[in-house]
Each structure stands twice: as structure tokens, then as C-alpha cells.
Amino acid sequence: MKNADGAREGGVSRGVDRLARYVLDIIPESAGPRRATARGSVIYSVRSPGSQTFLAREHSVGIVLRPSRKLRASLGSDRITEYDAPVGCLVVNPAGVDSSLAWSQTRENAVISISPEALSELAAHESDLADTELQPPAFGTVDLRALNIAQMITAELTGKLPPNELYLDSLLTVFGVHLLRTYTSRNRQAVSPKGGLSAVGARRVREYLDENFVRKVMVAELASVAGVSPNHFIARFASTFGMPPHRYLINLRLDLAEKLLVDGELAIAEVAYLAGFSDQSHLAATMKKYRGRTPTGYASVKT
């Protein structure tokens, strides 16, 4: 009763299904602010070293907001996995699946839970399939989209003004759709016959690289965008695009560099910077290796 009363004081709305508030009782009130909405609940949690074991009654997801090392976890079995969790790492715990977690240092994360009924409703709108099954990714998987939503939820829970329940429920809806599109059997079945990325995953990765190729892009980022395990991403990417991610990235940078050099309006050093190379020498060496020409050769095209 004490925990239930505390949950109400923390912003649980009247009429919200008790099931959707279960995670609020699992995580101590002292861990941080929380809120329940029509679809589920959200918590910003900071917890000292400890452990936790529970059987999920709703779909629950923990998103890491501060790096943690040597977490020991299990999900749906007695097998314990030890792994390091960088920022953006997440664990998807489907309803009805038991889990355990032990941590040896203070950890900071956001916890988002969605009732099975709410997720089924979203699935019906998303694909006309209300019985979509969540498929948790491997421990250590980084999901930048989930992190972005978790950060918005955290900002709302920890802001100076009282949390806006309607806004949080909207974020829960967005998060639920992301779960359906990224961690469901429907998404995982859409893998190409040759073991490459799904058509949707390939499109998302291509678009992501088109927007971010001038900066350093990590494999974990791309795997998250594609909705596959980082351990399998490079092989699937190569099968789909005919080359590893690093080579694909270099080609995008060189294509931009060539265009800028032919335009002839910028110095070679500026072109190198804009195209994502560390300096002019790096651009020259890379261009010579992969295109058989030097930047000065391209620059001389326009005279």
C-alpha cells in the first residue's frame, strides 16, 4: 500500500490500469521521479550498486543514460551474461518474461513500460497485426532513437514544471511504435534471402549515412538504425551493399570531395574538412588509393 500511495503522489492518474503501474512498485521511489499515463509508465532512475529480479507484467525497456561496466544480466533463462553498457544501450523485457540484473556501480537510466494492451493497439494501427511478438536484442545493443526519446522523457520528469502527462503519453506512443518497427518478429522476418539487411533496414541505414557520413559513425549506431545485432551488422551490410560499412562511408566522402573540387570554389584543405577527412594529406592519400587521382588533379578540371 505504501508503494501504491507513493506512486499516486508521484503522478499516477486516476483511471490508469493498475497493471501499467507495476514497474513503479518494482523500482524504489527513492530512485527518481516517475509518472503513469494511459499507456504505461516512465521513470528516471539513479540507483546505487545492487541487484534486481522480477517477472515483467508489462513490456519494460531500460535505456542507459550513464555508462556502466560489468553488468550481470539474464532474460528469460538462467544464463547470466556480463557486459558493458554504454550510453544508449537498452534492454527490452517483454511482458511475461523474467529477468535479473546486478550492478556494481551507481547506474542512471530511464525505464519505460507499456502495457500489452496498449502495444497491441499500436500494432493494430501499425500493421493490422495485434499479436506482434517483441524480440529483445542482444545485451549491449545501442539504440540511439530510443536514447533520444528517453532523454526527452527524462527532461520532462526532471524539469522545473510538473510533468505534462499528455506529453509523456505521446512520447510513450512514439516509443511503442519504435519498438514495433525495430524489435518485433515482423521486422526480423524481413531479412533478405542472402542474409543481408531487410529492405526497410537497408533504406534506413542508407538515409542515415547520407545525413551523417562526414562525421565518425560507429558500427553500433548503424546496427541500431538497421534493427540488427552489432555482431551481425557488418556481414549483413556487406551482403546488402557489396562492401563493408567503412568502404561505403569512404565512397560517400570521396563523392562529396570530388564534387567540391570540381566546383573549384574551395581550397583543398577546406574540401577535406567538409568531406570528413582529418586533413588535406588524409584526403589526398585516400583519394589516390580508391580513385587513382589526387585532389589537385580534380581541382584542375575547372579552369
Task: Look up residue 84 and give its DSSP letter.
Answer: E
The confidence score (pLDDT) of residue 191 equals: 39
Cα 128 to Cα 39, 125, 181, distances in angstroms: 19, 6, 13
> 2-187 with 247-299: one CATH topology?
no
* pLDDT number for residue 76: 83
Query: Is the predicted pLDDT of residue 128 greater than 70, yes or no?
Result: no
Using 50, 70 and 90 to split pLDDT, how confident is the model at 112? very high
* CA–CA dist 168, 275 (Å, integer): 39
pLDDT for the residue 283: 93
Nearest one of 17, 65, 8, 35 to 162, comparing CA atoms = 35
Please name every residue paired with 288 in a beta bridge, in sequence order, or none if there are none.
Answer: none
How much is the mean pLDDT over the chain?
83
The Cα–Cα gap between 178 and 198 comes to 16
Contact between residue 68 and residue 52 where contact means Cβ atoms under 8 Å apart: no
Give Cα 58 distance to the centre of its chain: 20
Topology of domain 247-299, per CATH? Arc Repressor Mutant, subunit A (1.10.10)
Q: pLDDT at residue 16 above 70?
A: no
Lowest mean pLDDT, pick from 56-70, 227-241, 248-262, 270-284: 227-241
How confident is the model over 51-110, as pLDDT tens digits?
A: 988 777 788 999 999 999 999 999 888 889 998 989 999 999 888 888 899 999 999 999
- What's the CATH fold of domain 2-187? Jelly Rolls (2.60.120)
Mean pLDDT of 211-237: 85
Q: Is the dihedral of CA 235, 239, 243, 249 positive or negative?
A: negative
> Residue 25: CB partners within 8 Å, gap ≥ 6?
3, 4, 7
Listed residue (115, 132, 101) closest to 36, CA to CA: 115
- Residue 302, pLDDT above cutoff 70: no
Domain-wise residue ranges, the chain: 2-187, 191-242, 247-299
Helix (H, G, I), strand (E, B) or coil at 155: helix
The verdict on pTM exceeding 0.75 is: no
Report pLDDT for 185.
65
pLDDT confidence of residue 56: 72
pLDDT digits (tens, 9 = 90+) for 145-196: 999 999 999 999 999 999 999 999 999 999 999 998 888 865 444 434 356 8
Could you give the percent of the chain with pLDDT greater than 70?
84
